[in-house]
Amino acid sequence: MSASDSIDLTSESFFANPFPTFERLRAQQPVYFFEPYQSFILTRGADIEAVTKSPCFSSRRANEMLGGLGLLGEDETSKKMLATWSRLVFFQDPPRHALLRQLVMKGFTPAVLERFRPQLASLVERALEKGRRQGEMDVVADFAEPIAINAIAELFALPEADRPQFMHWSKDLLKPAGVGVGTDEARNSVRRTSNDMVAYLTDLVEKRRAAPGEDLVSQLIAGEDGNPQLAGEAVIQSFQMIGAGFVTSTNQITNTVLALLKHPEQLRALRQDPGLTRGAIEESLRHEPAILSINRLCVEDTALNGTKIPKGRFVYAMAAAANRDPAVFPDPDRFDLTRTANRHMTFGVGAHYCPGASLVRLEVEEALRALLTLPRWELAGRPYDYRGSNFQDRGPSSLHVRFPSA
């Protein structure tokens, strides 16, 4: 693929349907140097799995990533932001990563989430009230976002009055994920948001330390206490789980609904056989994932698929492309709820497999259960777009759906 054949990986049309571009790259240049980001784009499942497991590609990349996005300076706000982000489990390599992951995972065990299911079901029913009452809603703003923010907020026992602020913060924090922030105003906003959220959570942790409960903040404090290596992690990891969990869940619920609307025969099959629900969740995660890519920093000159990747370059391992790799999935563009051996990469591979994956699955499951009580779904005819999407997260910014009674 020559320079004259360069492709756009940042347009709204790309995010609306990146899969033809991924197919072209996979066939012609599976390790593609994308000049605007000075980074390599990977589209083959085998290469992506190799990178996520190789010590040549590091997760300790906060300084390089934030600096490359123009978010760091010599000011105190920038320094505080870097100090926080450098400690997130997302930005760790072994052995530190394993220690932090063990701390975080205590809040996402099957037993914890199953106890949470009735509470989540109640949140979903509340979110569906507008759709039931009016026969139409924006699946993003009226349904998926309230489910996502209230689910994570309930697990962390965040006061209800503060939840709109957390939703605003979460949206703001994800602006730099894989895509340039763009303006000084936006960069300053991300820095302020990061530090404001940490200040809030620092105060919250101190209150829970004095009066612990059954929430995830209290569990993180309990895991931190007595272990000098984990001092202060209750604040830092709460910051990550709340910030990252909201956008991923919102997009996956929305993407699942849209995928079923685009494939009415699969929606009919699901209505006729609720036993296909788990298959619907996994197939939507594969076919229309909320996560577009996994990025790593090359820390040692290496070759991948015949292409040299120099030390210091970023690679974007396109998990969404791996999910449509014909070497892994037969007929990969087909949306099929009965697909078996659905080994998608949406939540990562190996040690960095997403700690919140089970929560996202549970939220999508309960969202589908409630929505399927409505006899019909149809797109409301209003346009939807992918303006909020980036290399990290992909989902429509709105999705208007009608639920006619007849």
| pLDDT tens per residue, range 323-380 | 999 999 999 999 999 998 899 999 998 888 999 999 999 999 999 999 999 999 999 9
- State residue 175's pLDDT score: 65
Neighbours of 312 (CB within 10 A): 12
Domains and CATH numbers, the chain: 12-402 (1.10.630.10)
Render 320-363 in DSSP notation, one character per residue.
Answer: HHHTT-TTTSSSTT---TT--S----TT-SGGG--TTHHHHHHH
Token pair belonging to 37: 């980001």
User: What confidence tier does 179 reach under pLDDT thresholds 50, 70, 90?
Assistant: very low
**Pairing status of strand 314-317 against strand 39-42:** parallel
The conformation of residue 291, written as its DSSP 8-state character, comes to B
Flag the least confident range among 27-36, 329-338, 382-391: 382-391
If you average pLDDT over residues 246-263, what whole number do you get? Answer: 97
| Position 119 pLDDT exceeds 50 | yes
- State residue 3's pLDDT score: 43
If you average pLDDT over residues 60-85, what whole number do you get? Answer: 89
Host H or E run for residue 379: strand 378-379
Which residue blocks in 213-328 are alpha helix, DSSP H? 216-224, 233-262, 264-272, 277-287, 319-322
- State residue 177's pLDDT score: 52
| pLDDT tens per residue, range 198-228 | 999 999 999 999 999 999 999 999 999 889 9
**Rounded to whole angstroms, how far apart are CA atoms 281 and 256?**
7
Pick the closest to residue 304 from 48, 24, 38 (CA basis).
48
Cα–Cα distances in Å, from 281 out to 4, 12, 210, 360? Answer: 40, 25, 40, 10
**Rounded to whole angstroms, how far apart are CA atoms 179 and 172?**
13
Neighbours of 89 (CB within 10 A): 24
Pick the closest to residue 243 from 303, 170, 192, 296 (CA basis).
170
For the chain, the average pLDDT equals: 92
The conformation of residue 391, written as its DSSP 8-state character, comes to S
Host H or E run for residue 138: strand 136-138
**Rounded to whole angstroms, how far apart are CA atoms 84 and 91?**
10
